[in-house]
Chain A
Amino acid sequence: MAERRRIVPYFLLGPGTVWLLLFFVVPLFYMGYLSLESGVVGSLGFSWNWGNYSDALSLYDTQFARSFLYSGLATAICLLVAYPLAYTIAFRAGRWRNALLFAVVAPFFTTYLIRTLAWETILSDQSPVVDALRFLGLVPENGHVLATGSAVIAGLVYNFLPFMVLPIYASLEQIDERLIEAAKDLYASSRSAFLRVTLPLSAPGIVAGTLLTFIPATGDYVNAQFLGSAGNQMIGNVIQSLYKTQLDYPAAAALSFVLMALIMVVVLIYIRFAGSESLMGEEAR
């Protein structure tokens, strides 16, 4: 029996591990191989070309900085927008809980592109939305919202909002309301109870949500392509252009690795700072 118990987990894990290893890890090795080649499609040759990496860092530093800036801002805004919604769904929604969750997830099904293109319509210069923003003084008289960094950030916020809402909601939902009541019984104000009980208990959700938003947002290119202009392109756009238009696979591969590495660095610092228990697995009960 003990023998069987020891093998069972490996059987269960087997298919998944093989799949992920074969189609996630190994391709990364390939990309590594590719990143040390030189030339373009049709004339690629392996040559330990570390130059691709130094090129990546020096030629595209603006785009890297811009990507981190945009995704950082987008993540922060997402957090501010998502938290109240998650809170309401967890604590105040009652019967409407599921309807609200649908409202958060369902837009997913209209496909990423259509949603972003809809924003192109909504944010066009003549639209009532932009007129209202001009009226409020948030946009200069002759200014436009589309083809600026703000439009790109707005697009990122919109598209990644579900990734922020759902983990925070999940975290909040697990909080035992009696703890909050206990705090209030001990004379804590609503605000205090929130800041000292609810917020810390939802920390795992916040950490998860932030990471699930920040990481994909940094590598995104769709929003910048449709909502931004030449001065708003992110590193994802560069990678896409190198792969698709310039057919410079080595440079693109090197750039992808640099992107991953930089994201890892930011994430590691963040996790150090925020605490890591929430991310990795749970012990078996």
Chain B
Amino acid sequence: MRWLREHAVNIVAGLVVVYMLIPIAVILVFSFNDPAGKYNFTWVGFTLSHWGNAFGIPELNSALLTSLKLALLATVISTAIGTLMAIALVRHRFHGRRAANLLIVVPMATPEIVMGASLLSFFIILGTPGLGFQTLLIAHVMFCISFVVVVVRSRLIGFDRNLEEAARDLGANSFETFRLVTLPLIMPGILGGALLAFALSIDDFVISNFNSGTTVTFPLYIYGAAQRGIPVEVNVIATILFGVTVLAMGATVWQQRRAERMSEVRPEQEAMPPVAVGAAEAA
């Protein structure tokens, strides 16, 4: 009984993790299904053929590639912009700071459907050269910036300024200090922000639905296919995406553990920064 009480929290946590992974398991299982027709709803039989044919549907491939390209570009741009903003917000005093803060927080607080729809109105009235990849990119960068800022900012806040002082005492100028001391130390935050931006972009459905024109992203392809029968290959790709992500995250952490063990800069800090969204200010 006491064991139960002591470990109750852990048990609940374990159950929650299982809960989070159940749909992934279902997706995985159904990627091995062998339906006779177009519909992949009930289990018919086991086959590896769809895994072999994972990239055999051209429309699916092009949708996936579009999504990856979009996510990559959106991540790079929004991470760059967001990091700069975070530095400005944390390190500098200036007028309009409150307004800037507001500007960053409000997009996170707006329902996606409102953002998507208003962008649509905007693009239509402007008559920009058609909706398509560019408009999608613009939209994705827009909603990613806020999240990057928040993540990098929380990392910057927890950052020990003494290290920079020390570097300057040792003769480094501002730029060198930034490049050799600050940047590497906030890099986990930047990477965390980038990772979050990538995830948000790849996963985005609502805003893309409104602003894509003829371009078909992976989630949009699925939405169209969901009406008519999702090919098993979609499950395969989803599982692959999941697997690749897990591997990539694992690699990052392993990398970091190595780096920190070698540098021993912040011994009390745990390996991966919180890929945290929202405020995590120190007291």
Given a CB threshold of 8 Å, the question of whether A touches B is answered with yes
In the bound complex, do residue A102 and residue B249 qualify as a contact, i.e. CB atoms below 8 Å apart? yes
**Chain B residues, Cβ within 8 Å of A88:** 9-10, 12-13
Among A89, A110, A163, A279, contact of B13 (Cβ-Cβ < 8 Å) = A89
Among A6, A20, A109, A111, contact of B94 (Cβ-Cβ < 8 Å) = A6
**The stretch of A56-64, A117-125, A130-138, A140-148 that contacts the partner chain:** A117-125
What are 18 pairs between A and B in contact, CB < 8 Å? A8-B88, A16-B104, A17-B100, A23-B122, A33-B121, A34-B121, A103-B17, A104-B17, A107-B20, A108-B203, A109-B203, A110-B242, A114-B27, A167-B276, A170-B154, A220-B113, A263-B109, A280-B102
> What is the size, in residues, of chain B's interface with A at 8 Å between Cβ atoms?
103
Q: Which of B87-125 contact A (CB under 8 A)?
A: 87-94, 97-98, 100-115, 117-122, 125
Instruction: Given A12-B85, A84-B13, answer yes or no on A27-B121 (Cβ-Cβ < 8 Å).
Output: yes
Query: Does B72 lie at the interface of the complex (its beta carbon under 8 Å from any beta carbon of A)?
Result: no
**The stretch of B179-187, B218-226, B259-267 that contacts the partner chain:** B218-226
CA distance A117 to B125 in the complex (A): 35
**Chain B residues, Cβ within 8 Å of A121:** 26, 30, 41
Dominant SS among interface residues on chain A: helix
Instruction: Given A17-B103, A30-B121, A281-B153, answer yes or no on A236-B109 (Cβ-Cβ < 8 Å).
Output: no
In the bound complex, do residue A167 and residue B90 qualify as a contact, i.e. CB atoms below 8 Å apart? no
**Chain B residues, Cβ within 8 Å of A98:** 249, 253, 271-272
Query: Does B270 lie at the interface of the complex (its beta carbon under 8 Å from any beta carbon of A)?
Result: yes
Query: Does A195 lie at the interface of the complex (its beta carbon under 8 Å from any beta carbon of B)?
Result: no
**Chain A residues, Cβ within 8 Å of B107:** 20, 24
**Chain B residues, Cβ within 8 Å of A243:** 117, 120, 210
Which 3 pairs across A and B sit closest by C-beta, in order of nearness? A219-B111, A208-B278, A170-B276
In whole Å, how far is B91's beta carbon from the nearest beta carbon of chain A? 6
In the bound complex, do residue B205 and residue A167 qualify as a contact, i.e. CB atoms below 8 Å apart? no
Q: Which of B16-68 contact A (CB under 8 A)?
A: 16-17, 19-24, 26-27, 30, 41
**Chain B residues, Cβ within 8 Å of A101:** 272, 274-275
Contact mask for chain A residues 83-108; partner B; CB cutoff 8 A; 1 contact, 0 none: 01101110010000110111111111
In the bound complex, do residue B205 and residue A282 qualify as a contact, i.e. CB atoms below 8 Å apart? no
In the bound complex, do residue B113 and residue A16 qualify as a contact, i.e. CB atoms below 8 Å apart? no
Instruction: Given A19-B142, A109-B202, A122-B23, answer yes or no on A215-B117 (Cβ-Cβ < 8 Å).
Output: no
Knowing that A27-B122, A110-B241 touch, tell me 16 more A-B residue pairs with CB under 8 angstroms.
Answer: A12-B88, A16-B145, A31-B114, A88-B12, A92-B13, A98-B253, A107-B23, A109-B244, A118-B22, A170-B274, A174-B158, A236-B111, A259-B111, A278-B279, A279-B279, A281-B153
Instruction: Given A111-B218, A121-B41, A280-B101, answer yes or no on A169-B271 (Cβ-Cβ < 8 Å).
Output: no
In the bound complex, do residue A20 and residue B142 qualify as a contact, i.e. CB atoms below 8 Å apart? yes
Whose C-beta in chain B lies nearest to the C-beta of A93?
A: B13
Whose C-beta in chain A lies nearest to the C-beta of B160?
A: A285
Q: Which of A217-270 contact B (CB under 8 A)?
A: 218-222, 226, 236, 239-240, 243, 249, 252-253, 256-257, 259-260, 263, 267
**Chain B residues, Cβ within 8 Å of A74:** none
Whose C-beta in chain B lies nearest to the C-beta of A103?
A: B17
**Chain B residues, Cβ within 8 Å of A108:** 199, 203
In the bound complex, do residue B199 and residue A109 qualify as a contact, i.e. CB atoms below 8 Å apart? yes
Instruction: Given A16-B149, A111-B203, A278-B279, answer yes or no on A284-B93 (Cβ-Cβ < 8 Å).
Output: yes
In the bound complex, do residue A110 and residue B238 qualify as a contact, i.e. CB atoms below 8 Å apart? yes
Query: Does A45 lie at the interface of the complex (its beta carbon under 8 Å from any beta carbon of B)?
Result: no
In the bound complex, do residue B114 and residue A219 qualify as a contact, i.e. CB atoms below 8 Å apart? yes
Q: Which of B222-271 contact A (CB under 8 A)?
A: 222-223, 226, 230, 234-235, 238-239, 241-242, 244-246, 249-250, 253, 270-271
In the bound complex, do residue A161 and residue B20 qualify as a contact, i.e. CB atoms below 8 Å apart? yes
CA distance A27 to B211 in the complex (A): 13
CA distance A158 to B13 in the complex (A): 14
**Chain B residues, Cβ within 8 Å of A89:** 13
Q: Which of A198-214 contact B (CB under 8 A)?
A: 201, 204-205, 207-209, 211-212
CA distance A108 to B242 in the complex (A): 8
**Chain A residues, Cβ within 8 Å of B216:** none
Instruction: Given A19-B145, A117-B230, A118-B26, answer yes or no on A92-B10 (Cβ-Cβ < 8 Å).
Output: yes
CA distance A13 to B112 in the complex (A): 24
In whole Å, how far is B179's beta carbon from the nearest beta carbon of chain A? 16
In the bound complex, do residue A113 and residue B205 qualify as a contact, i.e. CB atoms below 8 Å apart? yes
Query: Does B169 lie at the interface of the complex (its beta carbon under 8 Å from any beta carbon of A)?
Result: no
In the bound complex, do residue A9 and residue B88 qualify as a contact, i.e. CB atoms below 8 Å apart? yes
In the bound complex, do residue B23 and residue A118 qualify as a contact, i.e. CB atoms below 8 Å apart? yes
In the bound complex, do residue A211 and residue B109 qualify as a contact, i.e. CB atoms below 8 Å apart? yes
In the bound complex, do residue A252 and residue B117 qualify as a contact, i.e. CB atoms below 8 Å apart? yes
In the bound complex, do residue A212 and residue B108 qualify as a contact, i.e. CB atoms below 8 Å apart? yes
**Chain B residues, Cβ within 8 Å of A66:** none
* Most B CB within 10 A of own CB, among A30, A92, A252: A30
**Chain A residues, Cβ within 8 Å of B246:** 102, 106
Instruction: Given A84-B12, A111-B238, answer yes or no on A30-B26 (Cβ-Cβ < 8 Å).
Output: no
Contact mask for chain A residues 158-195; partner B; CB cutoff 8 A; 1 contact, 0 none: 10010100110111011000000000000000000000
**Chain B residues, Cβ within 8 Å of A40:** none
In the bound complex, do residue B16 and residue A23 qualify as a contact, i.e. CB atoms below 8 Å apart? no
